[in-house]
Amino acid sequence: MLEDWFQPVQGLQDLKPAKEVRLILGDQLNSMHSWFDEEPETEAIYVMMEMRQETDYAPHHVQKVVAFFGAMRLFAAERFSVGCRFFYLTLDDSRNLQSLTDNLDWITNEVGAKKVSYQLPDEYRLDEQLSNWSDEAKGRGLGVEVVDTDHFYTQREELALFFKGKKTYRLENFYRVMRKKHEVLMTAADEPEGGSWNYDASNRQKLPKDHMPPLPLTLDRNVEGLVKVVEASGVKTTGRIDAKRFGWPITRAEGLQVLEYFVDELLPHFGDFQDALTTNSWSVYHSRLSFVMNAKLLSPAEVVDAVEQAYHCEPERIDISQAEGFIRQILGWREYMRGVYWAHMPEYETLNFFEHKRELPSWFWTGKTKMACVSHAIDQTMEYAYAHHIQRLMVTGNFALLAGINPDELDAWYLGVYIDALQWVEITNTRGMSQFADGGIVGSKPYVSSAQYLKKMGHYCKGCHYDPNEKVGEKACPFNALYWDFYERHREKLERNPRIGMAYRTWDRMDPNKQRALLDTATMNLNRLEEL
C-alpha cells in the first residue's frame, strides 16, 4: 500500500525550533557516526531530503532510486525511535524545492538555527554545492561546521599524498601499506599471512560446467508504495523492478544478515570464481554488500573484520586466497579508487585519452544485441541493477572501449544503471580502469580482449549468433576484429607501453591481407553498431 511507505517518516515532517541543523545525505546512513554518541536531548535537528536534484542528474535504475529512498526513510525512522530529533522531506512534499541548498536555506530559517553542520560529501558535485553555499551562508552570519563521515579507512587526500610526485598510481604499493597500517592478514613478524601479498592469480577460475552457485539471500520487501511515489512525481527511471519482492538489503540489520550469509555460504568460493562469467547465476559468489556499504549502513572495517575472522576461525573451509581476494577489493581497491577520485577531480571527469566520440548504442538500455555475452550482462543489469566487476570491465566495458564509445556517455550509463554506483567509485572504475580514458592513472594498460578471453571465462559463446573462433566476416564475433582495429588505430599512443608489446609484435607478423580483412570487418561492425 502507498501509505506503508509514508509510515516510516510519520512524525518526522513537522519543523520545530532548533539551534543547529545537521544535514545527512542519502549515502550517509551511518548510525555509528560520532554525532549519535551525544545525548539525545541535543538541540540539533537532523535533516534528510528526497530531491529531484538527486533523481535527475543521471538516468537511474528504478531499483537504485527505490533503494536509496527506502534506506533513507528507514534510517530516519530508526534514529528517531532512539531519541534523535529529525525532519524528513519527502519527494512529493509541497514544500520541497527539489534543490539541496534551497531546501537547506528555508529549513534553517524555519527552525531559527544559528548553525548548520554537514558530513563531507563523497561526490565532488555535492561537495562543491555545499562548499559554495557554506561560503555564502557564513557571509550571512550563519555558523557552518563540516565533519568527516567516520566511514572510510583513509582520508580524502591520503592516497594523493602517498603517491606525491608520481605520474601513475599503482594499487599494489598502496594496498601493502594499508594491510600493514591496519594489521589485516598480517603475521606477528609483520609479514603477509600465507607468505604472499596477493593471490590474484588464483582468482581467475572458470565455473565448472553445470556448476550452480548458491542462490543469493534476498529479503523480498514490498516497495510498491515507494515505486508509486517515484512514478507519480514524474521521475524518469530505467530498468525493471518486482515491487512486491524487492531483494536488496536497505537497513543495517539486513546488511549484517547478508554479510553473515556471504561469510557462511559464499566466501569459501569467492576468490576462486570472482572473475567467472555465467548465465546460471546473476551474482555468482559475490557478496551483494556494495549498496549497503556505499550508503554507509555497513563500514568497510566491519566487513573486512568479519572475513578475516572467518578465515582465522575456519582456515580449512576458507583458504587465504578466498579471504585475501575479497579483502583486497575493500581495503585495497575501494579505498584506492576513492583516493584517485579526490586527487584528480574535477578534471578527471573530462579525460578522454583516446578522443573517443562514438555514441552509446541504444541496445545498452535494452540488451537487444546478438552478442550473447553483452546481451546477458545488460539484461541482467536491467533486471537486478547489478553486474559483477568482470561483466562491467570485460564485457560491456571491453566492448565500449573497442568500439570507441564516448566515455561521457558510458559514465552516465554506469552511474545510472547500477544500484551501487556513486560517482566517487563509478567514474574511476569506468573512465580509468575500464576505458583507459585517464591515460594510465589507474591502470597500466587498456583492458581489452578478443572473444577468446570471454570464451575462456564463461559459457556465453555456445549458441551465440556470432562465432568466437571466426575472425573476419559477418558471423565472426565482433570482439575479434575490433580488438585488432583498436590497437592499430591507437598505435601511436600505445606501442611504447611495455605491457602491450606482444600484441603489436603479433600484429606486425600477420599477413597484410589478413590485417586488411580484420580492419575491414571492424569497419563493417562499427558502421552497424545498432544491428550487432
Assigned domain for 232 exists: yes
Assigned domain for 466 exists: yes
d(CA 477, CA 471): 7
Domain of 59, CATH number, reads 3.40.50.620
User: Do 379 and 501 belong together in one domain?
Assistant: yes
Assigned domain for 248 exists: yes
Bridge-based pairing of strands 86-89 and 20-23 is unpaired
| pLDDT value for 349 | 96
Name the DSSP class of 500. T
| pLDDT value for 426 | 96
Q: Apex CA 373: angle with CA 212 and CA 330, to 5°?
A: 65
Helices 171-182 and 335-344, packing angle to 10 deg: 120
Assigned domain for 356 exists: no
Assigned domain for 352 exists: no
| pLDDT value for 2 | 43
In terms of C-beta density within 10 A (0-12 exposed, 13-18 middle, 19 or more buried), how is residue 371 classed? buried
User: Do 120 and 231 belong together in one domain?
Assistant: no
User: Do 125 and 242 belong together in one domain?
Assistant: no
Final residue belonging to a domain, choices 344, 376, 392: 344
Assigned domain for 392 exists: yes
Calculate the CA dihedral of residues 342, 344, 349, 352 and round it to 10 degrees.
-150
Q: Which residue has the cell 536491467?
A: 382
- The grid coordinates listed for 198 are 596477493
Asked if 335 and 299 touch (Cβ cutoff 8 Å), the reply is no
Domain of 507, CATH number, reads 1.10.579.10
pTM: 0.95
Assigned domain for 168 exists: yes
User: Do 44 and 181 belong together in one domain?
Assistant: no
User: Do 206 and 314 belong together in one domain?
Assistant: yes
Please give the tally of structural domains in the chain: 3
Q: How far apart are the first and last CA of the chain?
A: 43
User: Do 140 and 245 belong together in one domain?
Assistant: no
Range of the structural domain that residue 60 is part of? 2-147
Q: Give kind and range of the element (H or E) at residue 69.
A: helix 62-81
User: Do 323 and 410 belong together in one domain?
Assistant: no
Which is nearest to 175 in space by CA: 42, 306, 418, 339? Answer: 339
User: Do 216 and 293 belong together in one domain?
Assistant: yes
In terms of C-beta density within 10 A (0-12 exposed, 13-18 middle, 19 or more buried), how is residue 186 classed? middle
The whole-number mean pLDDT for each consecutive block of 10 residues of the chain, a chain of 532 residues, reads 65 87 97 84 87 95 97 95 92 95 96 96 98 95 96 95 85 94 95 91 82 86 93 96 94 96 94 89 94 98 97 93 95 96 96 97 97 96 95 96 97 96 96 95 92 90 93 96 97 92 92 96 97 96
- Please report, as a single letter, which amino acid is at residue 44: A
- The grid coordinates listed for 299 are 563500514
Domain of 225, CATH number, reads 1.25.40.80
d(CA 140, CA 104): 14
User: Do 384 and 327 belong together in one domain?
Assistant: no
Name the DSSP class of 208. P
User: Do 375 and 492 belong together in one domain?
Assistant: yes
User: Do 220 and 106 belong together in one domain?
Assistant: no
Q: Give kind and range of the element (H or E) at residue 20.
A: strand 20-23
| pLDDT value for 429 | 95
d(CA 467, CA 461): 7
Asked if 62 and 109 touch (Cβ cutoff 8 Å), the reply is no
- Residue 117 has φ and ψ, to the nearest 5°, of -120, 145
User: Do 398 and 463 belong together in one domain?
Assistant: yes
Q: What is the distance, to the nearest Å, from the Cα of residue 132 to the centroid of all Cα atoms in its chain? A: 27
Assigned domain for 353 exists: no
